[in-house]
Amino acid sequence: MTTLRDKSVLILGLGETGLSLARYLHAQGARLRVADSRAEPPGVATLRNEMPQAELHCGAFNEGLLQGVDSIAISPGVPVAESLVQMAMARGIRIDGDIELLAQQIAVAQPKPKVIAITGANGKTTTTSMVGAMCVAAGLDAQVAGNISPAVLDALRERGGHQPQAWVLELSSFQLETTHTLDADAAVVLNVSEDHLDRYEHDMELYAAAKMRVFNGHGVQVLNRDDARSAAMALVGRRQVTFGLTPPSSEQDWGISKEGAITWLMQGAQKVMRADELQVAGLHNVANALAALALCRALDLPLAPLVSALRAFKGLPHRVEEVAQVNGVTYYDDSKGTNVGATEAALNGLGKQAVVILGGDGKGQDFSPLKLAVEKYARAVVLIGRDAPLIASAIAGCDKPVLNASDMDEAVRIATANAQRGDAVLMSPACASFDMYRNYLHRAEAFVAAVRKLQAEATC
């Protein structure tokens, strides 16, 4: 591992990951230059307080930032296609992300920790959380980090630099772009559906290639046999294990089997647990659980504690999370559903008719796959946000009411008026939130507030 002491490192981006990079590199003795294209990035006050000697530049990037720089540490929000990054690459300046810096530490650790790496368009955070809980139940000192938060270098710092027995890493395509040497013992691409295409020149193959970097090491590949792009990532000379919502095709693979009204999670011919023992709803979460089992068993962890942890797992906020029942209608917050695939999975998994609230910043997605899910599961659609007209056009002719709202409060009221007793109102926007809200959490708060207002009115 290259020493960083007295090296001049340019950090691009000053959000959570940028700050974690600054803290890590400062502790390694590097001289820091930090740049963020925003006029007032969120980490400025913290940087000045903790590392006052760091050189700070806010505003548009310029070529002068590269003067005297030995390497660049890049936040995932800064694309490799950024012109300054391209200039640096042309000059032979090394560019690493936080996952790569962690990978370099893991490579020289004694004893070396196990690494489970999880990526995909949808289900990453839930699967990562499942795997973390399962590893702990199996007796490992496991550290969950990455895209899920905390940032990996903050997690390492908070551990006093001591490695865990296992890292459980949620990795985005953005993080994988600048990850070169991570050698995961087991890794999965859960699925590949349209997301972030505004960053990938509207080219799904570029997006899939970024995801596939999770398999750059030598470990077990866990592949989704129901997803053509995931299944196609099998590499010659590597061990593969598959999962899917079909019976397993071999004794090492994972899937489901139905006996009357009971759905079993299976490995080969072995019944592992009933699907109705999971506390998280929907077939997409059955798939997540199968992937989690495949990853943990790839490390030879004992099965019994893994199953116990899955039975106890209660799910995560803002992922088809039940908010309330009002007058026989159940309201679900799926604000984390920021792409079409996530919303399809949410509609498919509810198992009931729903009035679905869609819309926001579509990130260049093709919304046409929503049409089939809307036709099958939606009683009506309520549209909000900037790309509402694009969604309306994509689902035109679906023979379901398509209504427009100016804000979340109005959307919830319109959805309620169109729902019947026993239905769901599902806020699963299939879009990012930044056109109307600070982030998906802010959007969720608006939805929950609107539902609570309805609850209060119903009890009057």
Question: In the predicted model, what is the mean pLDDT of residues 263-272?
Answer: 98
Torsion sign over Cα 392, 382, 406, 193 = negative
Is the pLDDT reported for residue 293 higher than 60?
yes
Is the pLDDT reported for residue 182 higher than 90?
yes
Strand partners, 330: 325, 424
**pLDDT band at 282; cut points 50, 70, 90:** confident
- φ/ψ of 90, rounded to 5, equals -65, -30
Is the pLDDT reported for residue 196 higher than 70?
no
pLDDT of residue 350: 87
pLDDT of residue 281: 84
Tell me whether residue 26 is one of the annotated catalytic residues.
no
- Write the CB contacts of 381 (distance below 8 Å, at least 6 apart in sequence): 355, 356, 357, 358, 374, 391, 395, 398, 400, 401, 402, 403
Is the pLDDT reported for residue 75 higher than 60?
yes
**pLDDT band at 269; cut points 50, 70, 90:** very high
pLDDT of residue 197: 64
Is the pLDDT reported for residue 284 higher than 70?
yes
Exactly one of 26, 114, 122, 147 is catalytic; name it: 147
Round to whole Å and give the CA distance between 134 and 301. 9
Is the pLDDT reported for residue 23 higher than 60?
yes
Edge-to-edge, what's the strand order for the sheet holding 8-12? 55-58, 31-36, 8-12, 71-74, 94-96
Tell me whether residue 114 is one of the annotated catalytic residues.
no
Edge-to-edge, what's the strand order for the sheet holding 329-333? 321-326, 329-333, 424-427, 354-358, 378-383, 402-404
Reported for 201-210, long-range contacts at CB under 8 A and 24+ positions apart, including other chains, are: 202/364, 204/229, 207/173, 208/233, 210/173, 210/174, 210/176, 210/177
- Residue-wise pLDDT for 330-363, tens only, equals 999 999 999 999 999 899 888 899 999 999 999 8
Round to whole Å and give the CA distance between 184 and 114. 7
Distances (CA, A) of 67 to 34, 91, 258, 380: 13, 11, 63, 57
pLDDT of residue 247: 98
pLDDT of residue 204: 85
pLDDT of residue 195: 65
Averaged pLDDT of the chain: 96
Pairing verdict, β 402-404 and 378-383: parallel
Round to whole Å and give the CA distance between 109 and 78. 29
**pLDDT band at 451; cut points 50, 70, 90:** very high
Question: In the predicted model, what is the mean pLDDT of residues 252-267?
Answer: 98
Exactly one of 26, 122, 191, 196 is catalytic; name it: 196
- Write the CB contacts of 336 (distance below 8 Å, at least 6 apart in sequence): 125, 316, 318, 319, 342, 440
pLDDT of residue 1: 57
pLDDT of residue 193: 84
Question: In the predicted model, what is the mean pLDDT of residues 292-304?
Answer: 99
- The answer to whether the beta carbons of residues 104 and 153 sit under 8 Å apart is no
pLDDT of residue 380: 98
Round to whole Å and give the CA distance between 183 and 238. 13
Is the pLDDT reported for residue 99 higher than 60?
yes
Is the pLDDT reported for residue 262 higher than 60?
yes
Tell me whether residue 288 is one of the annotated catalytic residues.
no
Question: In the predicted model, what is the mean pLDDT of residues 398-405?
Answer: 96
- Residue-wise pLDDT for 129-145, tens only, equals 999 999 999 999 999 99
Q: How far is CA 38 from the centre of its chain?
A: 24
pLDDT of residue 203: 80
**pLDDT band at 407; cut points 50, 70, 90:** very high
